[in-house]
Amino acid sequence: IIIFHNEAVSTLLRTGWTAILRSPEHLVKEIIFVDDASNAAWLHNIEKEIKTIPKARYLRLNERQGLIRAKIAGAEAALGQVLTFLDSHCEC
């Protein structure tokens, strides 16, 4: 589960691809990108971009909730039994 608000598109995509490429496939059921009501113009197409990442889903919150409530929303939407939360700007 990756929470973001007005994050750079390239950073979000690199984070998602890093999670997919560096994790054992059988351990990743899905990657949920939770958009905490971003309003940046550069994110207008982000849902389409996220769909290029295997196992990725996009969840948009209509109102700014803050980090903890956004994490809860992501957890409630999750299908997996074990949840991992990542910063929106991490890659290796």
The band of 13, judged by pLDDT with boundaries at 50, 70 and 90, is very high
Share above pLDDT 90 across residues of the chain, in percent, rounded to a whole number: 96
- Output the CA torsion sign for 81, 18, 92, 43: negative
Q: What is the mean pLDDT of residues 18-38?
A: 96
User: What pLDDT score was predicted for residue 91?
Assistant: 72
User: What pLDDT score was predicted for residue 71?
Assistant: 98
56 Ramachandran zone, left/alpha/beta (phi>0; psi -120 to 50): beta
Q: Cα–Cα distance between 56 and 51 in angstroms, integer?
A: 6
Q: Cα–Cα distance between 85 and 11 in angstroms, integer?
A: 16
Q: Cα–Cα distance between 48 and 23 in angstroms, integer?
A: 23
